[in-house]
Amino acid sequence: MPEAKKRKVALMGSRSVGKSSLAIQFVQGQFVDHYEPTIENTFNKKVNLHGSEYELYLVDTAGQDEYSIMPPEYSVDVHGYVLVYSIDSMKSLEVCQTLHEKLIDLIGNNNVPIVLVGNKCDLHADRQVSSEEGRRLAAEIKAVFLETSAKNNQNVADVFHKVLSEMEKDSGTLDNGEKKCVIS
């Protein structure tokens, strides 16, 4: 069997939007309710997509704001990005837009596989960002859009399936970006 293809994904967004929760839910299948703010963590998981084996490396970045300097290492050997905002914070959506602009400037190419994620969709009563506003930004930045709840494990695996599909579609590996992943 051929060696697993290595793919690196950076999770980016404001502080406390649930980047770590998404990564931990996907990799370990659990929701961590309380932990210290992330400096930077790396997680990995083997994923089977359309008969090919992938070693998916997730770089869980420190929370950013609109004034954060985009470290160059966020563009080196990174194959795709997950930009995360919280549906209970309009500011976190605005930060995603700014992060996208900084990424494009850093990479020098706007054809980058990106999934825009509105996390914490279980917080219905606190919603500040409508699904339509998320979809609108995703269309503007040419990203796939999903709403998730890391707490309830809603659409969490789909985030990483979609970003991997976008990476492979971008590289011409898949005929159809909608192919489902199988977790091993």
Least confident of 52-56, 122-126, 148-152: 52-56
pLDDT score of 2: 78
The total number of structural domains in the chain stands at 1
pLDDT in tens, 76-121: 889 999 999 999 999 999 999 999 999 998 888 888 999 999 999 9
CA 163 to each of CA 26, 36, 65, 122, 139: distance values in angstroms, whole numbers, following the listed order: 13, 27, 23, 22, 15
Quote the CA–CA distance of 58 and 72 in Å, as a whole number: 17
pLDDT score of 50: 77
pLDDT score of 181: 32
C-beta separation of 95 from 63 below 8 A:
no
The structure's pTM equals: 0.88
**What range does the domain containing 20 cover?**
5-183
Quote the CA–CA distance of 25 and 43 in Å, as a whole number: 11
Where residue 27 sits, what CATH number does that domain have? 3.40.50.300
